[in-house]
A = this chain, B = another copy of it.
Amino acid sequence: MKLGIIGAGQLGQMMALAARPLGIDTAFLDPSAQACGGRVGELYCADYADPTGLQQLAEFADVISFEFENVPPAIVAELARSRPVYPPAEALATARDRWAEKTLFLSLGIETAPVAEVNDQASLVEAVRQIGLPAVLKTRTLGYDGKGQKVLRDAQDAADTFAELGGVPLILEGFIDFEFELSCIGVRDQNGACVFYPLIRNEHRQGILHRSQPMQDPRLQALAEQAVESVMSALNYVGTLAFEFFVHKGQLMANEIAPRVHNSGHWTIEGSRCSQFENHVRAVMNLPLGSTESVGPVAMYNVIGKRPETQALLAVPGLHWHDYGKSERPGRKIAHITVTAANDAQLAERCASVEALLINDL
C-alpha cells in the first residue's frame, strides 16, 4: 500500500516513519527540495498547486493525506476525483477559516469565546461594541503559532491593528483570561469509530508550544471527547484531529481544530501503545485503529531555533531525541524531546535535567 502526503516537514516525516513498519511506502509533495520528509520517502519537489507534482503524487499513491491545513481546498477536491483523500476537503476548508470553524462549534453547541466577523472598519467598531475590550483580532486564515493575531486593549489598538492586519477577512474574539490551554486528540476511522488520547496540557512561550504533557481529568476528558467526536462526525472526518481548548473557570472553551497530527501529540510515539501518527496512517489506509492506552509517565518539549548539546542531552535516561534534520533558525521547530519515566517523581527529575539543557532561540 502507498500513501501520498502533501507537505514533507516533520509531521510528514513522522507519518512516514509510522507507516514504514506497517509495510506502507510513502511519497511527498513539497516545494522545498530540502524538506526533511525526503529522507524517509520519495519527494516530488513542486509547488502544492503544480499539476505535474500533484499528478506524480496521485499516480504513486493509493491514498492521499496531508501534514498541514493550508492546502488550497480546490486542490484537495481535484485530487479527490482520482484518489481517496483524507481528511476530507470539507474538514480542511473549515479548519483553515477561523470563522467557519467557530460557526461549526456554535452550531454543535460547543462553547467558544464571544466571536464576530470583521470585514471592514465599520464591522470592527460593531464587533468591539458587542464583545468589549480587551479582545483578540485574528486573521480568518493562515494563522499559526500566535501569528496573524493581536490583543486589542483600547480603541487606538483597534485602529492600529486593523491597519496592520486589515485587507484580509478577520474575526474578533472576546479575550479569555484562561487558566491554561489543553488539547484533545482524536482519531476517526472510515466506519466512524473513534479513539481519543488523554487530554494534553500545553504551555506556550511567545505563542509557540513549549511543553506538552498528558493529564488526567475524567470530567474534562469526557467533555472534550464529546466535542471532538461531534466535530469529526459533522465533518465526516477520517484521520487524526487535534482540538485546542482554553480552560476557564473549570470549563472548556473551544479555541480551534487542526485537521491533522499535532505538535501537542508528539509524546504519543513513546507514551501511547499506538501513536497519533500510526493511528492517522491506520485510519486513512482503512486499517483498524490502534490502542490509545498510555504506557507510562511522559512529557514533551519542543526544541526551537537552536539545538542543545547532544552529548549531555542523550545522557538523560529515558529521553527520546527527535531531530527533524532542519537547520537552526530563530523561532523554527527543529526537534522535539520526549521524556519517559517509571513514575511521576522520576519524570519531574528528568524534565528538570532537560529544561536545564534547552537553549531555545525564539
- Residues of A at the B interface (CB closer than 8 Å) are 13, 17, 20-23, 25, 39-41, 273, 282, 287-288, 290-291, 293, 295-296, 310-311, 314-315, 317-323, 325, 335, 340, 342
Contact = CB atoms under 8 A, between A and B. Distances in A.
A252 to B, nearest CB: 28
Contacts of A342: 293
Contact of A296 (B296, B311, B317): B296
A147 to B, nearest CB: 27
Contact of A40 (B40, B287, B288, B290): B40
B273 A288 contact: no
Given A21-B321, A23-B325, A23-B335, 7 more contacts: A13-B20, A25-B325, A40-B40, A287-B310, A288-B314, A290-B317, A295-B295
Contacts of A317: 273, 290-291, 293
A290 B273 contact: no
A304 to B, nearest CB: 16
Nearest to A342: B293
A95 B287 CA distance: 42
Q: Which 7 A-B pairs have the closest CB atoms?
A: A23-B323, A288-B315, A291-B317, A21-B322, A288-B314, A273-B318, A287-B314
Nearest to A318: B273
- Each complex incorporates copies of this chain amounting to 2
Nearest to A286: B311
Contacts of A288: 311, 314-315
23 contacts: A13-B20, A17-B17, A17-B20, A21-B320, A21-B322, A21-B323, A22-B323, A23-B321, A23-B335, A25-B39, A39-B41, A40-B40, A273-B317, A282-B314, A287-B311, A288-B314, A290-B319, A291-B317, A293-B317, A293-B318, A293-B342, A295-B296, A295-B340
A23 B342 CA distance: 26
A18 B287 CA distance: 24
Nearest to A335: B23
A25 B325 CA distance: 9
Of A296, A325, A335, which is in contact with the most chain B CB atoms at under 10 Å from its CB? Answer: A325
Contacts of A321: 21-23
Contacts of A310: 287
Nearest to A310: B287
A9 to B, nearest CB: 14
A291 B273 contact: no
A89 to B, nearest CB: 27
A18 B20 CA distance: 12
A199 B310 CA distance: 30
A273 B17 CA distance: 18
Contacts of A22: 321, 323
A308 to B, nearest CB: 12
A25 B20 CA distance: 16
A14 to B, nearest CB: 9
A302 to B, nearest CB: 14
A315 B274 CA distance: 12
Contacts of A314: 282, 287-288, 290
Nearest to A41: B39
A325 B291 CA distance: 24
A296 B296 CA distance: 9
A303 to B, nearest CB: 11
Contact of A318 (B17, B39, B291, B319): B291
A17 to B, nearest CB: 6
